[in-house]
């Protein structure tokens, strides 16, 4: 179109309203431009424009917070975006600034997060994300079940048919299934055992139905009714402290509430607890560790723990590790603490994936001589 024609078209076009744009999270898709070929940007496209405008330096920290699926979704929007004129960019930035400033202080909670996600994700994806945040950890329903206390699941399953319970328990690991069975009423548990012994391959449709029921009836209500033990939460916080901070807080807590301090210490998973892993578990952990991290962590270990680690390495690997430790000389306590924390985190990650079993040797375990 010639410049004169363009100017004429713009002068005859209806004026846009001076009303500020609707919120990105709750309003309609943005209509950009006053020409005949005006475009409407959906949530994905708005996010893509803003990230492209921010560039690699400022856009990268945002992208690093997204998962792979979200990055793919945004990347697809960027590829298909096409030309973005200065006028389009100006309007989008104006909408963004107005929405940021109009509400004053921001409040982050389940409702505001869900509204934002719904502006650029379908309902089912948002439901899955919010369920993940609110409920037990795990990517699938079956993984989530393993992080539910066995008495909570048993209380739910006791009202189900034995065949259904058998299917559910067959999808969990054996240790967890045994704890659930032990919690069920004895007559029901025995019937479930019989059904599990004779269980045939379950049709996909039946399994999908059970999975959907667990997700909608059990998991969705669990997040509202289950209160996390405060001592367990505090134990995880203490696990994240460096050694000096941990000792200072525990000492102070022992003076004020010895029972609480003892309970927290019993729940904490410390570097010394790695010495209770069986040979297979410790070897799996050592294979996952970075050599420098392992050498640093070992510098702060007592002689018994050092020998335990070294005895689970090959002769050559043990010699190399000793050489690495000697070559380090004196190291800062903070660096040792950080390496030991990473080693503990790796062990927990392996346990969460079911690759190893962490046994803290609780006091109620029976010992046979």
Give the mean pLDDT of 95-112. 58
Give the mean pLDDT of 128-144. 59
To the nearest 10°, report the CA torsion of 146, 150, 152, 153.
60
Per-residue pLDDT at 26 exceeds 50: no
Residue 351, burial from CB neighbour count under 10 angstroms (0-12, 13-18, 19+): middle
Give the per-residue pLDDT at 54: 80
Question: Who contacts 146 (Cβ-Cβ below 8 Å, separation ≥6)?
Answer: 138, 172, 173, 176, 354
Domain 21-97+110-118 matches domain 269-352 at the CATH topology level: yes
Per-residue pLDDT at 311 exceeds 90: yes
Q: What CATH fold (topology level) applies to the domain 269-352?
A: Annexin V; domain 1 (1.10.220)
DSSP of 303-329:
HHHHHHHHHTS-HHHHHHHHHHHHHH-
Report d(CA 105, CA 126) in Å as an integer: 24
> Domain extents for the chain?
21-97+110-118, 135-225, 269-352
362 — pLDDT class (breaks 50, 70, 90): very low
Per-residue pLDDT at 48 exceeds 80: yes
- Name beta bridge partners: 247: none
Per-residue pLDDT at 129 exceeds 80: no
134 — pLDDT class (breaks 50, 70, 90): low
Per-residue pLDDT at 228 exceeds 70: no
Of 31-35, 93-97, 111-115, the range with the lowest mean pLDDT is: 31-35
Per-residue pLDDT tens digits for 313-351: 999 999 999 999 999 888 888 888 888 888 888 888 888
Give the per-residue pLDDT at 43: 80
226 — pLDDT class (breaks 50, 70, 90): very low
Of 58-62, 141-145, 162-166, the range with the lowest mean pLDDT is: 141-145
Return the CATH class of domain 135-225: mainly alpha
Per-residue pLDDT at 24 exceeds 70: no
Give the per-residue pLDDT at 193: 92
Report d(CA 281, CA 291) in Å as an integer: 18
Per-residue pLDDT at 78 exceeds 90: no
Report d(CA 310, CA 318) in Å as an integer: 5
Per-residue pLDDT at 290 exceeds 60: yes
Higher local confidence (pLDDT), 77 or 274 = 274
Give the per-residue pLDDT at 360: 56
Per-residue pLDDT at 15 exceeds 90: no
CB 13 within 8 A of CB 20: no
Of 137-151, 163-177, 318-332, the range with the lowest mean pLDDT is: 137-151
Q: What CATH fold (topology level) applies to the domain 21-97+110-118?
A: Annexin V; domain 1 (1.10.220)
Coil, helix or strand at residue 358: coil
To the nearest 10°, report the CA torsion of 284, 290, 292, 296.
-50
Give the per-residue pLDDT at 310: 92
Higher local confidence (pLDDT), 243 or 190 = 190
Residue 75: CA count within 13 A, CB half-sphere: 9
Report d(CA 195, CA 163) in Å as an integer: 6
Give the mean pLDDT of 12-33. 38
Report d(CA 215, CA 69) in Å as an integer: 22
Per-residue pLDDT at 120 exceeds 90: no
CB 77 within 8 A of CB 121: no
Per-residue pLDDT at 138 exceeds 60: no
């Amino acid at each position: 179109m010639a410049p004169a024609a363009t100017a004429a078209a713009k002068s005859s076009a209806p004026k846009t309203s001076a009303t500020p744009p609707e919120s990105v999270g709750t309003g309609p898709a943005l209509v950009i431009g006053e020409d005949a070929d005006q475009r409407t940007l959906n949530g994905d496209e708005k996010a893509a424009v803003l990230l492209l405008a921010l560039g690699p330096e400022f856009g990268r920290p945002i992208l690093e917070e997204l998962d792979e699926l979200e990055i793919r979704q945004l990347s697809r929007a960027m590829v298909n975006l096409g030309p973005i004129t200065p006028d389009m960019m100006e309007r989008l930035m104006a909408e963004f600034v107005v929405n940021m400033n109009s509400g004053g202080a921001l409040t982050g909670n389940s409702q505001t997060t869900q509204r934002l996600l719904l502006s650029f994700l379908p309902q089912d994806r948002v439901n899955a994300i919010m369920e993940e945040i609110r409920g037990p950890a795990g990517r699938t329903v079956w993984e989530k079940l393993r992080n539910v206390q066995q008495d909570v699941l048993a209380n739910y399953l006791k009202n189900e048919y034995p065949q259904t319970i058998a299917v559910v328990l067959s999808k969990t690991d054996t240790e967890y299934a045994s704890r659930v069975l032990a919690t069920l009423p004895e007559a029901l548990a025995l019937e479930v055992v019989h059904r599990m012994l004779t269980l045939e391959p379950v049709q996909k449709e039946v399994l999908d139905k059970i999975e959907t029921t667990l997700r909608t009836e059990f998991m969705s209500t669990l997040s509202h009714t289950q209160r996390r033990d405060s001592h367990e939460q505090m134990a995880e916080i203490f696990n994240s402290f460096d050694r000096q901070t941990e000792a200072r807080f525990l000492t102070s807590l022992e003076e004020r509430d010895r029972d609480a301090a003892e309970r927290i210490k019993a729940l904490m998973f410390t570097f010394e607890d790695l010495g209770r892993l069986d040979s297979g578990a410790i070897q799996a952990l050592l294979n996952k560790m970075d050599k420098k991290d392992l050498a640093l962590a070992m510098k702060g270990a007592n002689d018994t723990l050092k020998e335990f680690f070294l005895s689970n390495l090959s002769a050559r690997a043990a010699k190399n590790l000793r050489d690495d430790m000697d070559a380090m000389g004196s190291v800062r306590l903070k660096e040792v603490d950080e390496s030991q924390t990473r080693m503990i985190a790796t062990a927990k990650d392996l346990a969460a994936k079911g690759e190893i079993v962490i046994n803290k040797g609780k006091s109620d375990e029976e010992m046979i001589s």
